[in-house]
Amino acid sequence: MLLGLPTNSARRALAAVWSAILGFLVTTLLFLHQPMVFHGRFLFIMLPAMSSGLAGYIWGGTILDFKKTTGYHESLLRGVGVAGGAFAIFAVLFALALWQTEPGWVMNQVGGLFLATLTFGLLMAGPLVMITGLAGGGILYLLGLHAFAGR
């Protein structure tokens, strides 16, 4: 940390951890039920958490950069952007992982599966992705504001 402010890598790491935790919690609440096979848990719980963490690392660090983020309202919009990016990363990972984990899928279907995941996924989970992004961006901003206040 330079002059008590978090470095770029520390901001990115904190945003990645927060995004991964939030992605894990939301998908666990939606999809974890009994009985569920392991690869189903991987596809519908772990992949969203990993993609959320990756998106948080790539784009979420700017929420904690108080020189670039002008306020709470901008952190909310940035949170929605991070959540949208996480959904796009999830669509790619899901299309690539499904043909490896489920019988009957072949590599030739990955492109169509990616487009279907984007289309139907946005219709079904789009509002939840936006609400999660709003909450995640706002809470991350407030946590960072209180954690780094006076430094």
pLDDT digits (tens, 9 = 90+) for 14-36: 999 999 999 999 999 988 887 87
Say whether pLDDT at 1 is over 50: no
- Residue 51's domain spans which residues? 8-147
Confidence (pLDDT) at 39? 82
Report the share of the chain in percent with pLDDT over 90: 60
- Grade residue 48 by pLDDT with cuts at 50, 70 and 90: very high
Handedness of CA 118, 122, 128, 131 (dihedral sign): positive
The phi, psi pair for 8, rounded to 5°, reads: -60, -40
- Grade residue 5 by pLDDT with cuts at 50, 70 and 90: low
CA distance 89 to 121: 12
35 occurs within a structural domain: yes
Domain count within the chain: 1
Chain segment 94-136, per-residue pLDDT in tens: 999 988 888 888 888 888 989 999 999 999 999 999 999 999 9
73 occurs within a structural domain: yes
2 occurs within a structural domain: no
CA distance 6 to 13: 10
Least confident piece of the model among 50-54, 64-68, 145-149: 145-149
